[in-house]
Amino acid sequence: MLTWLRDQVLALWSRISQVLSSAYSYASDRASSALASAKAWATTAIAAALATAGRWIDAAATSAQQLLAIAKYELLQLIAKAATAAQQLVSIAKYELLQLIAKAATAAQQLVAIAEYNLWQGLVAASAAAQQLVTLAKYELFKALAEASTAARQLVDIGKSDVSAKVDALSDQLQPAWQFFADPLANIAAYVSSFFLDMLCDVLAHGLGTVKYDLPPKRVYLGGGGGVYIGGGPGPPPGAGGLAPPLSSLYVTGYRFGPSHHGLDLGLTDGQAVFAMHAGVVLSAGWSNVGYGYNVVLEGGGWWTRYAHAKALGVQAGDKVRASQQIANGDSTGNSTGPHLHLEIKYNGQWVDPATVLGT
């Protein structure tokens, strides 16, 4: 029994050993097959991953090259735009420089024209002065000759006893004339030079103006700026009158009529109406380069009047105006220190003190 039991146990163990051996072989075979399958899958997956990574790397490289090309193009575009802008700025700078040069040339030409005009006015004044001096010299010579002739006849009538005294007196009377005609050109040149320099300095000073010094009253010359300076009469000529007031109210605020100021300064408010004192024709209306500013000059019925330092003119040269017609608005243009009307009056070519016909 024990033997049978041992045999049965041995047989059972043999069967268990066979089963275990078969199971181990089966497991080993399955494990080997699984390992081989895993290796094959891993190899395939790695190859696919490497292929995909290569494609991605190639795509990234292509994108990088495209981005680099785009960046180069944009950079070239920016450089081209910057160059164009720089060229435009250079063109604008050249244009502005040419404009400044043109303006400077124009200003220089205007200054030269003004200087030439003032020099011409001075030469005209000197020429007129010389002509008047020659006329005056001729008049004085004829007068002296007439006086000499009269004196000679008187000497004959009086007698030989007074001849010597009369001759001495006549010689003294004619001495200035003899001195003049001994060298007339030198005498005329000396007078003209003195007058011309004084007149030119006065005209330039009032024409250019000054902010540092107060100028003396402007001198007045025949024709409104040329000719010989003359004095004015004490008042209007007999029978002259009938002038309309130039302003609604009359009061003196500045210089009165005198040898160096042939006008009267009347007070007004800025923009106040200025009226014609008489009927006539407008000789000139506009800006003056000798200190009057905007001014109007009228002539008619023997009267000549100037209304200076205005700002708005209602007439122009050649217009016909009536007495009391508004011709301008007052201001302080030209050589002026405040709003006022500078009024000048002539009657038949002779200066008249405006106060004598205005009652101021």
What is the span of the domain harbouring residue 61? Answer: 44-186
Residue 151 within any structural domain of the chain: yes
Q: What is residue 181's predicted lDDT score, i.e. its pLDDT?
A: 64
Instruction: With cut-offs at 50, 70 and 90, classify the pLDDT of residue 186.
Output: low
Let me know whether 167 and 110 are in one domain.
Answer: yes
How far is 314 from 296, CA to CA, in rounded Å?
A: 9
Let me know whether 167 and 49 are in one domain.
Answer: yes
For a pLDDT cut of 70, what percent of the chain falls above it? Answer: 68
Q: Cα-atom radius of gyration of the chain, to the nearest Å? A: 58
Q: Kindly tell me if the per-residue pLDDT of 268 is higher than 90.
A: yes
Let me know whether 175 and 58 are in one domain.
Answer: yes
Let me know whether 182 and 235 are in one domain.
Answer: no
Instruction: With cut-offs at 50, 70 and 90, classify the pLDDT of residue 125.
Output: confident
Residue 18 within any structural domain of the chain: no
Q: Kindly tell me if the per-residue pLDDT of 182 is higher than 70.
A: no
| 74: its two tokens | 């944009």
Residue 2 within any structural domain of the chain: no
Number of neighbouring beta carbons within 10 Å of residue 151: 16
The kind and range of the H/E element at 270 are none
Q: What is residue 302's predicted lDDT score, i.e. its pLDDT?
A: 93
Let me know whether 157 and 279 are in one domain.
Answer: no
Considering 128, 155, 186, which residue would you say is the last residue of a domain?
186
Instruction: With cut-offs at 50, 70 and 90, classify the pLDDT of residue 2.
Output: confident
CATH number at residue 252: 2.70.70.10
Let me know whether 238 and 298 are in one domain.
Answer: yes
Residue 234 identity (one-letter amino acid): P
Q: Which has the higher per-residue pLDDT, 299 or 153?
A: 299
Q: What is residue 215's predicted lDDT score, i.e. its pLDDT?
A: 52
Residue 9 within any structural domain of the chain: no
Q: What is residue 269's predicted lDDT score, i.e. its pLDDT?
A: 92
Instruction: With cut-offs at 50, 70 and 90, classify the pLDDT of residue 26.
Output: confident
For a pLDDT cut of 90, what percent of the chain falls above it? Answer: 28
Let me know whether 151 and 60 are in one domain.
Answer: yes
Q: For the packed helices 2-158 and 184-208, what is the interaxial angle rounded to 10 degrees? A: 150
Structural domains in the chain (count): 2
List, for residues 292-315, the tens digit of each pLDDT value.
999 999 999 999 999 999 998 999
**Of 118-132, 198-212, 313-327, which one has max mean pLDDT?**
313-327
Let me know whether 157 and 256 are in one domain.
Answer: no
List, for residues 198-255, the tens digit of each pLDDT value.
566 666 665 555 544 455 555 544 333 333 333 334 445 544 568 999 999 999 988 9
Residue 172 within any structural domain of the chain: yes
Q: Which of 85-89, 242-246, 339-343 has the lowest mean pLDDT?
A: 85-89
Considering 123, 156, 186, which residue would you say is the last residue of a domain?
186
Let me know whether 160 and 242 are in one domain.
Answer: no
Q: What is residue 105's predicted lDDT score, i.e. its pLDDT?
A: 79
Q: Kindly tell me if the per-residue pLDDT of 140 is higher than 50.
A: yes
Phi, psi of 211 (to 5 degrees): -110, -5
Q: What is residue 18's predicted lDDT score, i.e. its pLDDT?
A: 87
Specify the 3-state DSSP secondary structure of 226. Answer: coil
Q: What is residue 38's predicted lDDT score, i.e. its pLDDT?
A: 85
Residue 220 within any structural domain of the chain: no
Using alpha carbons only, give the angle 114, 120, 123 rounded to the nearest 5 degrees: 145
Instruction: With cut-offs at 50, 70 and 90, classify the pLDDT of residue 270.
Output: very high
Q: Which of 73-77, 163-167, 204-208 has the lowest mean pLDDT?
A: 163-167
Q: Which has the higher per-residue pLDDT, 91 or 319?
A: 319
How far is 330 from 338, CA to CA, in rounded Å?
A: 11
Residue 206 within any structural domain of the chain: no
Q: What is residue 235's predicted lDDT score, i.e. its pLDDT?
A: 47
| 289: its two tokens | 């380069």
Residue 288 within any structural domain of the chain: yes
Q: Which has the higher per-residue pLDDT, 149 or 323?
A: 323
Q: Which of 3-7, 64-68, 182-186 has the lowest mean pLDDT?
A: 182-186
Q: Kindly tell me if the per-residue pLDDT of 139 is higher than 90.
A: no
Let me know whether 171 and 268 are in one domain.
Answer: no
Let me know whether 62 and 156 are in one domain.
Answer: yes
Instruction: With cut-offs at 50, 70 and 90, classify the pLDDT of residue 179.
Output: low
